[in-house]
Structure 1
Amino acid sequence: MNENTDVVVIGGGYAGVMAANRLTQRGDVTVTLINPRRSFVHRIRLHQLVGGTHDAVVDYREVLSEGVRLVVDTVTRIDAAGRGVELASGDRVGYDYLVYAVGSGSADPRVPGAAEFAYPIAGLEEVQRLRPVLDAAPTTAAVTVVGAGPTGIETAAELAEAGRAVTLVCGRILGPYLHPRGRRSVAKRLAGLGVTIIDGPGASVTAVSGDAVRLDDGRELPSTVTIWTAGFGVPDLAVRSGLSTDALGRLRTDETLTSVDDVRIVAAGDSAAPSDLPLRMSCQAAMPMGARAADTVLSRIAGERPETLNQSFAAQCISLGRNDGIFQFAKRTDVAVWFNIDGRLGAKLKEIVCAGVIKHMADEAHKPGAYRLHRVSGGATRRQQLLQAAAGRGEAPIPADQAA
């Protein structure tokens, strides 16, 4: 009779849920998912929660396998030597293998006044804190969105469509990921919604107050409500637990997503830094990485050699209100190309993606092992070139099972 293996997954986001579901395909594996919330946060809909068009949460019963034990708590420390995690409640959970999928959140803005007067929206609780402030502000009140990545663009569009007076401060460029052709399309749609776009030289925020935003060229923009979407950070759990991390705090792993410190720990999603070449923070990367992390654990349990990361990207999709959007196609190496689909069809494709993400997790819950997108070919060639270049500079991390 096979000995039972206990696997703990920290984090119930896109990567953590995918990993937990996939691990249930073996009957001799007990899976525990530890997450601070009772509901799944559909982060790619948080801008809709800001605008009041979606609640951005899903019951875990819809996306999590019945074979996974959900523990609603917060991990305060990983005891790698003792193979256990300590919880805020005072409890301790032991493990044979650990999947580190703590995700990401708002970055420290490090801009005077931003922490006090601006509202980050990378997490559910942050948006819930913002909503009453928006509701109390007159429709004509100036709203400034700082940061022009997908979150900033989508939030600005959502609020402008609701009749808000919105200024989008880009820092330097609108939609840095987008191809110039796609960027022009987004700018046109935002202008049509009445969004004032501040970009180019001098468009970086240097200070935030209760009623204004100051730019580095000296301009001061009136702002009754300032929303901060510039950059993401990761929880410091790995750092506090004495594990090797990159400068941002992501857990350093090899290409099988195994920690460089411990073969019993694997990482996935925004909080992982495979070979010090982390992938773009997105659910598009998180779910395949969650599946890859689970496969690595299952391979080690079976005594087999784990496969390496083979991440292939396809596009970036951005909603521009409820009736418009853009589906920006990209090379599999995650570089935008000239072709995009915008307008109503772009919005429809974005909605298909949002619904499809939930379906992928639900399907894996009902039939673990069915998910295959982490095996799509095409993303590995460029990554291998980057790894070889890093190895030539002596920068590639050494896998834990090869370390002295």
Structure 2
Amino acid sequence: MKSSALVIGAGYGGLLTANRLAARGHRVTLVNERAEFVDRIRLHEYVAGTRDHATRPLATMLHHAVRFVQGRATRIHPGRTPAATLSDGSTHAADHLVLAVGSGAGLGPAGLDGATALRRQLHALPAGARVLINGAGLTGIETATEIATAHPALRVLLHDPAGPLPTSSLRNRDWLRQRLPRLGVDLTDQQAEADLTIDCTGFRVPALAAESGLPVDAHGRVLLDDTLAVRGHDNLWGVGDAAVMASRPLRMACAVAEPMGGHVADGIGRYAAGQPVRPFNFGFGLQCVSLGRDDAMIVFVHRDDRPTTARLTGRAGAWFKELVSTAAVVFPARFAQGYVWLGAPKRRPGRPAAIGAPA
């Protein structure tokens, strides 16, 4: 038995969810504020000017059976047939609703609007101007190194009292402390005056779930049970940065959003068939950080995201990072039906082999 699904948001996770459901015969409506897909992991390149754009038309990425509605969801209505009201006053309903609105709200390179403003400001700076990036996590490091290598006439400062990549191993952090200055990035644990300040201190999610009365955590992310259903609602689901499992919080990343999307699509199929929905099983494999166009650090990690001692750097690391970033878009757009991830249930004998997943 097939069902209908309403997917709110067309980021990495929402796109994969919609395409996977449609490829398996479900009736799918996808709602997104833009008619373009925003390749968010490329936004630091767009800010620095090493990439001319970071979007592509959704029409070229959607399964032919997906019905696309351009609009902004302002309210989710739980119930036997969940629905969403859009800013134009229209309401759309389905058997299942998937909340996949992602993150990137506010200023900074995490969202397209903030990235566009920063790109304009950055390119207007004179030689010798100081650019301060607050936050030395993955996004902050990528933004700082991209700007420093693309604009050597600027002085780039990376500020974080905790130092670079606080969640990684001491070995990796020491390597970054040595490598970043060679790329033109000055590390500092103090705030400094700058001609342009860029906030990379964390992603922010839209307030849609909270304003709809759904259970959320302190960051506004909708709370999910172990099957990725919204707590207390078996026909509401969460995918990506705007959702979090109460039992196992995972970092915000497309490497998490896409497996969540695959699992939710499978869960809706099992629900429609009267079968129990399995708990979400997921493991990390890699943690990737680009360091400009010609360098990167690829850290091989345990399933729980703890770093191992293995890593790949230099041009080989940059090539590998580019491969992963490209796969993050190609898989949900072209191979959503066969997409698998580390921890996904094994496919039954006789079924086509699945496409591997980016980490």
TM-score (norm 2): 0.91
1:9 — aligned with what?
A: 7
Aligned partner of 1:346 in structure 2 is 317
Cα distance, 1:299 vs structure 2: 0.8
Counterpart in 2 of 1:65?
63
State the SS of the aligned residue for 2:227. coil
Name the counterpart of 1:39: 36
1:251-293 Cα offsets, whole Å, 9 max, x none, are 1111111111211101111111213432111011110001011
CA contact 2:227–2:280 (8 Å) conserved in 1: yes
Q: 2:95 corresponds to which residue?
A: 96
Q: Shift of residue 243 of structure 1?
A: 1.0
Q: What is aligned with 2:174?
A: 184
**Structure 2 partner of 1:218:** none
* CA RMSD, Structure 1 to Structure 2 (Å): 1.8
Give CA-to-partner distance per residue, 1:343-401, whole Å, 9 cap, x none.
11111110010111122113335xx2x11115448xxxxxxxxxxxxxxxxxxxxxxxx
Q: SS at 1:145's partner residue?
A: strand
| In 2: Cα distance, 1:186 partner to 1:31 partner | 45
Moved more, 295-304 or 4-13: 4-13
Mapped to 2, the partners of 1:12 and 1:57 lie a distance apart of: 12
Q: Specify the alignment match of 1:145 in structure 2.
A: 133
Partner letter of residue 332 of structure 1?
R
- Higher-Rg member (1/2): 1
- Say which of 147, 164, 167 aligns to 1:159: 147
Listed as ranges, the matches of 1:208-357 within 5 Å are 215=191, 221-357=192-328
Q: 2:339 is aligned with what amino acid? A: Y
- Tell me which residue corresponds to 1:111: none
Supply the AA of the counterpart residue of 1:32.
Answer: T
Which stretch of structure 1 is more off in the superposition, 267-276 or 32-41?
267-276
Kept after mapping to 1: 8 A contact 2:141/2:291: yes
Measured after TM superposition, the shift of residue 57 of structure 1 is 1.4
For structure 2, the 5+ residue unaligned runs are 346-359
Q: What is the rounded CA distance, in whole Å, between the counterparts of 2:307 and 2:24 in structure 1?
A: 39
Question: What secondary structure, in the 3-state scheme, does the structure 2 residue paired with 1:328 have?
Answer: strand
Deviation at 1:61, TM superposition (A): 3.5
What CA distance in whole angstroms lies between the structure 1 residues aligned with 2:288 and 2:240?
A: 19
Find the residue that maps to 1:348 and give its secondary structure: helix
For residues 114-153 of structure 1, what are the alpha-carbon distances to aligned partners after superposition, in whole Å with 9 as ceiling and x for unaligned? xxxxx52210111111121112111311100000011100
Provide Cα deviations, 1:233-263, integer angstroms capped at 9, x if missing partner.
2111111111111121111111111111211
Distance (whole Å) between structure 1 residues aligned to residue 299 and residue 56 of structure 2: 27
How far apart, CA to CA, are the structure 2 residues paired with 1:280 and 1:11? 19
Aligned residues of 1:158 and 1:320 also touching (Cα < 8 A): yes
Q: Which residue of 2 aligns with 1:20?
A: 18
Give ranges in structure 1 of 5+ residues lacking alignment: 108-118, 204-214, 216-220, 378-404
Q: State the Cα distance separating 1:7 from its structure 2 match.
A: 0.6
Alignment partners' CA distance in 2, 1:302 and 1:263: 14
CA distance in 1, matches of 2:213, 2:197: 36
Q: Which moved more, 1:42-51 or 1:354-363?
A: 354-363
Give the distance between the partners of 1:247 and 1:276, measured in 2 at CA. Answer: 15
Paired residues in the alignment total 342
Structure 1 residue aligned with 2:340: 372
Residue 106 (structure 1) shift? 4.8
* More displaced stretch, 168-177 vs 56-65: 56-65
TM-score normalised per structure 1: 0.81
Letter in 1 for 2:30: L
